[in-house]
Structure formats: C-alpha cells, structure tokens
C-alpha cells in the first residue's frame, strides 16, 4: 500500500519536473530526502543570507517542490566559519545545504580557517548580490560631495560594515585607493547593525547589500549614493517615495571606479551521490522559477542568475581567483 503511494508520488514528481529536466538527469529522481532538509546559513539572524534562506523555505513549501520539510539553521558563529566547518564535517549527509556567499573564498584566506569550497559539492549559483554606498539622509548628496567630506574630515571618517577583512572591508580599502580619502572602518557583527548605526549617525556611511538597508532606505533615514556594478540595477518600480533601485547611479558614473558583485550559491557537503546532487540542482532550478523567488529578487534588488554543472565550476574558479587577488591587494591574507 505505502509502496504504491510512494511510487505514484515519485512518478508525479518526474512528470511535474519533466519539462525542465534534461534526459541525462531524469534517473536521478530515484533519490529524494526523507528527513527534514536543513538550509545552513553562514550568518546571523535577519541578515541577507538568512532572509534568502527563509524565502527558499517558503517557496519550497508553498509550491510543494519537495515532500520533506525545510528548516533554516543559523550557523553564524565565528563570522560564518561555524557553518563552513559544519558543512565540511557533514560528508555524505545530503540533508544539509549551505547558502554560501563570498566568505567561502575570503575566510580561509583571512582567518586561516581549514576550509576549501572544493571539498563541498556545488549545486547551483542562485543570485548575485549588489553593494551600494549609503550615507545618512542628512549627509552628503552625491558621491563627489561625500568624497570631499571624507577628505576634509578632521576626525576619523567612519565607515560601517559587516565583519573584518571581508567584502565590506575590501570595498572600503578599494574606495580609499581610488579616491585617496581615508576611512576608519568599523566592523559590526551584522549588516542590520551597520544599518542601525548609520541611521543613528554613529557612522558616516556603509556599503551594505540592498536588502540590509532596504527598510531604513524606505523610511527615508539613509541615502543611496551609488551601486558598485558596471550597470544600474534593473528594477524600475518605486521603492521609496521618489526612487526606484534603477534610479541609483553606478559608482563609475559618479567617478568612483570600483565594482564588486557577490555570489549567492548553494552547496551540499562533500561525498554525496550524483543522484542527490542532481535532486538539489533540480530543486533550486525550480525554486528560481517560483513567484516567491522572483518577488524576492526584485524586492532585495538581487541580480537573477542560475548556473549549474561545469558552468558553475568555471564561474567559481574565476570568482575565487578574483577574490584572492582583491584580498591580497588589500593586504588581508593571513601569513
């Protein structure tokens, strides 16, 4: 009785996913998680990774993409190293999936964490995250004014960010190199904290991801000066009363030639079977087609992207090399 139900369900799953499956991966549907699947977040509660994990949890459950329940588990200890070590020590456990970002390249370099993303099983890259230069709504109105203010400041000009020797810190160093201005970088525990501190005027600026400053931007407490990308963010719906994401100029337009994008990618622990890997590639491909995902991309101003297989590997290798050179140039690689 129960066997026939399971067989029918499996068949239904194959049929449902047939249009987007290539013929090579269809036998993979033999595997499906039976225990709750844990989305491992390498950051604190409420941060960009956490929010994304919760969006995926909702997308999977609302659209019945998988029978096993999804739980989000926060492993933000040691600036996210906890999650990396947790994944590394879970070899062969296909019920854990990490939502990774650039820390997989940076943390092993800056803190000598014994971790290499090549030990994990890549599933897919699901989005690229932007960085925006923000200042307090009462501060400078343009990048030029902002840089001039930083140069003229007699006391330390404070730039808030998440963690030390990471994306935010690297961006700050490259802004210094480009402009000759001097910033005092204040590493906070989370992007949310960096946002609150900017609103309270305890820092002059930060380089938060759009999602981290979204609420205070909408509340009119901070101003978006420029986005660190080659092109403007594509979303044109008004987010604040007067501005859409698309209204924010690129930093290059404003004469500050610094660019950085951060991956958001899914990884399984090492030593999982190809069937298990294929299941998750398929699952997250379906996730990127849900309304929840599309909504989230727009709301948080993320760049949609989907990479898997050899394409993803090629991307990871290039991205790793890029991050490594940035970290080296900034002087953040531990000896």
Partner 1 sequence: MEAFGLLMHGFAVLMTWKIISLMVVGLVLGIFVGVLPGLGGPNGVAILLPLTFTMDPTSAIVMLSCIYWGALFGGAITSILFNIPGEAWSVATTFDGYPMAQQGKAAEALTAAFTSSFIGSLVAVLLITFLAPMISSFALKFGPPEFFAVYLLTFCSFVGLGREAKHKTVISMALGLLIAGIGMDTVSGTLRMTFGSTDLLRGINFLVAVIGLFGISEILLTMEERLALRGHAAKISLRTVLKVWMDLPKYWATLLRSSVIGCWLGITPGGAIAASFMGYNLAKRFSKDPESFGKGRIEGVFAPETAAHASGTAALLPMLALGIPGSGTAAILLGGLMVWGLNPGPLLFVEHKDFVWGLIASMYLGNVVGLVIVLTTVPIFASILRVPFAAVAPMIVVSCAIGAYAIQNAMFDIWLMLGFGVVGYVFKKIGIPLAPFTLALVLGSRAEDAFRLAMIGSGGSVGVFWSNGLVGTITTLAITLLFWPVIDKAFSGVGRMLRPMAQTP
Does 79 help bind partner 1 (rule: CB under 8 A)? yes
User: Does residue number 199 form part of the binding site for partner 1 (CB under 8 A)?
Assistant: yes
Q: How many CB atoms lie within 10 A of CB 29?
A: 18
Residue 253 CB burial class (10 angstroms; 0-12, 13-18, ≥19): middle
Regarding 71 and contact with partner 1 (CB under 8 A), the answer is yes
Q: Residue 163 region, left (φ>0) first, then alpha (ψ -120 to 50), else beta?
A: left
Position of tokens 């998750």?
280
Token duo for residue 26? 């269809």
Q: Is 303 in the site for partner 1 (CB under 8 A)?
A: no
Among 197, 243, 244, 288, binds partner 1 (CB under 8 A): 197
Indicate whether 93 belongs to the interface with partner 1 (CB under 8 A).
no
* 116 scored as a contact of partner 1 (CB under 8 A): no
For residue 79, the minimal CB distance to partner 1 (Å) is: 5
Under the binding rule (CB under 8 A), the answer on residue 50 touching partner 1 is yes
58 interacts with partner 1 by CB under 8 A: no
166 class by beta-carbon count within 10 Å (0-12 exposed, 13-18 middle, 19+ buried): buried
* Torsion (CA) 142, 146, 149, 150 in degrees, nearest 10: -170
Under the criterion CB under 8 A, does residue 68 sit at the interface with partner 1?
A: no
* Member of 196, 240, 243, 273 binding partner 1 (CB under 8 A): 196
Q: Which stretch binds partner 1 (CB under 8 A): 60-68, 159-167, 171-179, 287-295?
A: 159-167
Whole-number minimum distance, CB 184 to partner 1, in Å?
5
- CB–CB of 40/9 below 8 Å? no
How far apart CA 175 and CA 160 sit, in angstroms, is 13
Is 223 a binding residue for partner 1 by CB under 8 A? The answer is no
Q: Interaction with partner 1 in 238-297: which residues (CB under 8 A)? A: none
Of the candidate residues 27, 92, 114, 220, the single one contacting partner 1 (CB under 8 A): 114
Question: How many angstroms separate the CA atoms of 28 and 20, rounded?
Answer: 14
Instruction: Determine if 46 is a binding residue for partner 1 (CB under 8 A).
Output: yes
Output the smallest distance, CB 77 to partner 1, in A: 3
85 sits near partner 1 (criterion: CB under 8 A): yes
Sign of CA dihedral 16, 20, 22, 27: negative
Report if residue 27 touches partner 1, rule: CB under 8 A.
no
Interacting span for partner 1 (CB under 8 A) from 22-30, 141-149, 158-166, 288-296: 158-166
Rounded distance between C-alpha atoms, residue 225 and residue 58, angstroms: 33
How far is residue 107's CA from residue 334's CA, in Å, rounded to a whole number? 10
Q: What residue has token string 């090399």?
A: 321
Give the interface with partner 1 as residue ranges (CB under 8 A). Answer: 44-46, 50-51, 54, 71, 74-75, 77-79, 81-82, 85, 89, 110-114, 155-156, 158, 163-166, 169, 184-190, 192-193, 196-197, 199-203, 215, 332, 334
């Amino acid at each position: 009785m129960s066997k026939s139900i399971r067989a029918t369900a499996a068949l239904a799953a194959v049929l449902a996913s047939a249009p987007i499956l290539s013929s090579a991966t269809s036998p993979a549907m033999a595997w499906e998680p039976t225990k709750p699947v844990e989305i491992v977040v390498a950051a604190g509660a409420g941060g960009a990774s956490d929010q994304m994990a919760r969006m995926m949890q909702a997308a999977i459950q609302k659209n019945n993409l998988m029978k096993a329940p999804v739980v989000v588990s926060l492993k933000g200890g040691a600036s996210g190293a906890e999650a990396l070590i947790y994944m590394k020590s879970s070899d062969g456990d296909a019920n854990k999936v990490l939502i990774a970002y650039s820390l997989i390249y940076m943390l092993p370099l800056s803190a000598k964490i014994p971790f290499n993303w090549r030990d994990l099983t890549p599933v897919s890259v699901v989005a690229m995250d932007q960085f925006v230069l923000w200042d307090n709504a009462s501060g400078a109105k343009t990048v030029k004014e902002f840089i001039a203010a930083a140069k003229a400041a007699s006391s330390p000009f404070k730039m808030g960010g998440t963690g030390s020797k990471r994306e935010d810190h690297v961006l700050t160093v490259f802004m210094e190199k480009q402009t000759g201005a001097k910033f005092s970088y204040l590493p906070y525990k989370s992007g949310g904290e960096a946002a609150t501190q900017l609103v309270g005027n305890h820092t002059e600026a930060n380089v938060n991801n759009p999602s981290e400053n979204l609420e205070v931007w909408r509340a009119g407490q901070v101003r978006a000066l420029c986005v660190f990308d080659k092109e403007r963010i594509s979303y044109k719906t008004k987010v604040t009363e007067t501005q859409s994401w698309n209204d924010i100029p690129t930093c290059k337009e404003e004469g500050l030639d610094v660019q950085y994008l951060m991956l958001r990618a899914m990884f399984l622990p090492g030593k999982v079977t190809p069937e298990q890997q294929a299941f998750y590639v398929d699952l997250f491909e379906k996730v990127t087609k849900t309304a929840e995902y599309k909504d989230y991309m727009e709301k948080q101003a993320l760049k949609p992207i989907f990479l898997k297989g050899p394409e993803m590997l090629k991307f990871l290798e290039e991205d790793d090399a890029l991050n490594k050179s940035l970290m080296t140039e900034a002087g953040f690689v531990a000896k």
